[in-house]
Structure 1
Amino acid sequence: MTAPLSLGHRTDLMVLRLTGSEITELGPLTLVRTPDNPAYRWGNFVLVNHLSDGPVWIRAEELFRGAFPGETTVRFGLAPSPAVIVLPGHIARLQLEGDVALASGAPPSAPVPDGMSVRPLAGDDDWAAAQELQRVNNAYEDDDDVAFLTRQVAAYRAAVERGSGRWFGAFAGNALVGGLGVFSDGGPDARYQSVDTHPDWRGRGVASALLAAAGRWAFDALGAQRLVIVAERDSAAMRLYERLGFAEVDVQLRLSGPLSALHA
């Protein structure tokens, strides 16, 4: 019997579908592929819906190897969010990570900082600035990382242009100093993506203003009934979201590591 998806994975899959990923459900396994962006690590993985069944893990590894030939790093999402995790010995060699999924049933409230404006992106220059902001915040320098980011931003823009979401920017004059996206497939949940503030502008209320503006729009334009966001536990981002009224729902679990570790 498969387990219910954690809120983080469920809304991740929603955004992945909206931005062009291929998602194939195979009983206790879900294959996620993003052919247009093969370097997108968590756009190319296997989601495991039944953690305690040993044969499922054999199938999961076989599915990953077949779907991503030549890949040396295996990536498994763990669908449920159990209090106690028991993994087969060889799977337990992989690194387990968990991010917190938080939700709010109402848009947050926050003022726009003095001298700034918050609005949706409009046109090539805005989107180029949004990509550069993400590059700076993620310290992407090599060609592979920049190519991944270019494809990812293009996918977000295409989803926005199809009406599935919107990307908001915070501007100081003409300079983009913060940004984020919000997306929904028409269901009750809207999911934030890529909350970014330029390092020189942190601590000034930029992210709060963006979250508020995007949240209001998601409720009004997308018909959202709940806003979802994911953050690293005990991080500054999580503390900010909690101050704005978001509360923890569950944990989004992932396993990754060298394929060779599975047979060490």
Structure 2
Amino acid sequence: MEIVNLGYRTDLAVLGLSGSSVHDAGEYVVARTPDNPGFWWGNFLLYRTPFAPGDVKRRVDDFRREFPDAEHIAFGIDTTGGEIGAEDELAAAGFAVEPAVVQTAGRVVPPPRPNEQSTYRFLSSDDDWEQVFHQSLACAELEVDAPYEEFTRRKVATRRAMVDSGHGKWFGAFDGDRLQSSLGLVFDGAVARFQSVQTAPEDRGQGLAGTLVHHAATYGLTRAKTLVIVADPDYHAIRIYRAVGFTDAETQLQFTRRPA
């Protein structure tokens, strides 16, 4: 299937490599992760066109038909310039619009403030992955309740399986054996997609993320020609990525209506 947006193209590739199903239904693409129904961006519809007047209701009906038991609704649009369409209808229907910046790099430079005190290496043990799970909870932007913990546990297990099968690598910055910062890199041919750059709250402000991104990117370019990372335009991390050589390439749009 042809996907124009590089962010969504690599999203779908990662989902496919991690065991999710990706089906081209013509007007839209269905991404489905039945083993983790709480994973909104593993269970969503990607439309090929912006929202025309009247599309919101029709597309909600599409989603309900494809995911009758889902509590959330999640849409994407396969465009590169950020065209939304009927924003007033989306707002009236309770959807949040979340723009992101798709960044790419074919070469990288060291961060301006590298952290040389920590150790940078691949995750290699049960304890390393257990620390990723707890770090993910500590970095969560949503309320951490039992369903969120279960979602996170399943997502970490899927990522470990993907690494074990040779489709990616997970990297960590460590103080001794304690995980401070982590991220993933998943390979799809000549492209490598970054996943979940996160630093424990108590370890922020030490240059860990920039150093780890550079470390992982340097490795990634030994296996791929293009690195892809998707960043929140309003979050400080986007400046870290730019500082090591990533440039803004496209806009990616996500539309969500959270469970009641």
**TM-score clears 0.5:** yes
Confirm or deny that 1:143 pairs with 2:170. no
What is the Cα deviation at residue 208 of structure 1? Answer: 1.4
What do residues 185-224 of structure 1 show as CA deviations (whole Å, max 9, x unaligned)?
A: 22x221111111111211211111211121122122xx21
Range with greater deviation from structure 2 (87-96 or 172-181): 87-96
Check conservation: 2:71, 2:259, Cα contact below 8 A: yes
**Secondary structure of the residue that 1:81 maps to in structure 2?**
coil
Structure 1 residues 23 and 173: CA distance shift in structure 2, 3 A: same
Aligned to 1:216: 218
1:184 to 184, 187, 190: 187
Check conservation: 2:100, 2:253, Cα contact below 8 A: yes
- Superposed CA RMSD in Å reads 2.4
**Secondary structure of the residue that 1:36 maps to in structure 2?**
coil
Distance 1:249 1:185 in 2: 19
Check conservation: 1:28, 1:56, Cα contact below 8 A: no
Aligned to 2:229: 229
Gaps of 5+ in 1: none
Structure 1 residues 242 and 258: CA distance shift in structure 2, 3 A: closer
- The alignment covers a number of residue pairs equal to 256
Confirm or deny that 1:50 pairs with 2:53. no
Aligned to 1:31: 30
Aligned to 1:11: 10
What do residues 118-162 of structure 1 show as CA deviations (whole Å, max 9, x unaligned)?
A: 000002111101111111111663110010000000111111011
Distance 1:30 1:24 in 2: 6
Gaps of 5+ in 2: none
**Secondary structure of the residue that 1:131 maps to in structure 2?**
helix
Distance 2:75 2:225 in 1: 30
**Secondary structure of the residue that 2:240 maps to in structure 1?**
helix
**Secondary structure of the residue that 1:11 maps to in structure 2?**
helix
Check conservation: 2:37, 2:70, Cα contact below 8 A: no
Range with greater deviation from structure 2 (247-256 or 63-72): 63-72
Check conservation: 1:31, 1:47, Cα contact below 8 A: yes
Letter aligned with residue 196 of structure 2: S
| TM-score, length of structure 1 as denominator length | 0.88
Task: Report the identity percentage.
Answer: 35
Aligned to 1:101: 102
**Secondary structure of the residue that 1:138 maps to in structure 2?**
coil
